[in-house]
Amino acid sequence: MSTTSTHDDPGTPELAARRRFLKRAGLAAMAGGLLAGAGWMVLKRGANLWQVQHERTLMATSVSITCLAEDREAAAYAIDAAFAHMAMVAAELTRFDAASPLSRLNRDGHLHIVPPHLHAVLREARSISGLTDGAFDATVLPELRYFETLRGVHGLDAGERAAIAQRDRVVDYHGLMLGATGVRFEKPDMAVTLDGIAKGYVVDQGIATLSAAGIEYAIVDAGGDTRTICGSDPSRHWNVGIIDPQDVGRIAAVVQVRNAALSTSGNYRVFFSTDRRLFHIVDPHAGGSPQAYSSVTVVAERSVMADGLSTGTFSMPLPQLAALMQAHEHQWLVFSRTGDRRWRSRDLPLVAGKAELA
Which value, to the nearest 10 degrees, does the dihedral of the CA atoms of residues 354, 62, 213, 43 take? -80
Dump the DSSP string for 259-287: SSEEEEEESSS-BSBTTS-SBS---TTTS
Same domain, 1 and 110: no
Q: Can you give the pLDDT at residue 268? A: 86
Is 218 contained in some domain?
A: yes
Q: Can you give the pLDDT at residue 271? A: 85
Same domain, 75 and 123: no
Distance CA(183)–CA(119), nearest Å, equals: 8
Q: 261 φ, ψ to 5°?
A: -120, 150
Is 33 contained in some domain?
A: yes
Is 112 contained in some domain?
A: yes
Is 311 contained in some domain?
A: no
Same domain, 73 and 219: yes
Same domain, 203 and 61: yes
Show which of 137, 167, 185 is a domain's final residue. Answer: 185
Distance CA(318)–CA(292), nearest Å, equals: 9
Is 326 contained in some domain?
A: no
The whole-model pTM stands at 0.88
Same domain, 129 and 4: no
Same domain, 167 and 114: yes
Same domain, 90 and 200: yes
Which burial class, exposed, middle or buried, applies to 20 when counting CB atoms under 10 A from its CB (0-12, 13-18, 19+)?
Answer: exposed
Q: In what order do the strands lie in the sheet with 247-257?
A: 238-244, 247-257, 350-352
Contact 201, 124 (CB under 8 A): yes
CA-based Rg of the chain, rounded to a whole angstrom?
21
All residues at 6 or more sequence positions from 100 whose CB lies less than 8 Å from its CB, including other chains: 91, 92, 93, 94
Q: Can you give the pLDDT at residue 30? A: 40
Q: 212 φ, ψ to 5°?
A: -65, -25
Same domain, 60 and 204: yes
Dump the DSSP string for 184-235: EESSTT-----TTTHHHHHHHHHHHHHHHTT--EEEEE-SSEEEEEE-S-TT
Domain count across the chain: 2
Distance CA(269)–CA(74), nearest Å, equals: 36
Is 17 contained in some domain?
A: yes
Where is 299: in which H helix or E strand?
Answer: strand 293-300
Is 129 contained in some domain?
A: yes
Residue type, 177: M
The neighbour count for residue 16, using CB atoms within 10 Å, is: 11
Dump the DSSP string for 52-119: EEEEEEETTEEEEEEEEES-HHHHHHHHHHHHHHHHHHHHHH-SSSTTSHHHHHHHHSEESS--HHHH
Q: Which of 258, 265, 261 is nearest to 313 (CA)?
A: 265
Same domain, 54 and 91: yes
Same domain, 19 and 64: yes
Q: Can you give the pLDDT at residue 128? A: 98
The neighbour count for residue 164, using CB atoms within 10 Å, is: 21
Show which of 185, 209, 244 is a domain's final residue. Answer: 185
Is 265 contained in some domain?
A: no
Same domain, 138 and 24: no
Same domain, 18 and 150: no
Domain that holds residue 171: 101-185
pLDDT in single tens digits along all 358 residues of the chain: 222 222 333 345 555 555 554 554 444 444 444 445 568 999 988 878 999 999 999 999 999 999 999 999 999 999 999 999 999 999 999 999 999 999 999 999 999 999 999 999 999 999 999 999 999 999 999 999 999 898 888 888 899 889 999 898 999 999 999 999 999 999 999 999 999 999 999 999 999 999 999 999 999 999 889 999 998 888 889 999 999 999 999 999 999 999 999 999 999 888 888 888 889 999 999 889 999 999 999 999 999 999 999 999 999 999 999 999 999 999 999 999 998 999 999 999 999 999 999 8
Q: Looking at residue 137, which CATH number applies to its domain?
A: 1.10.3980.10
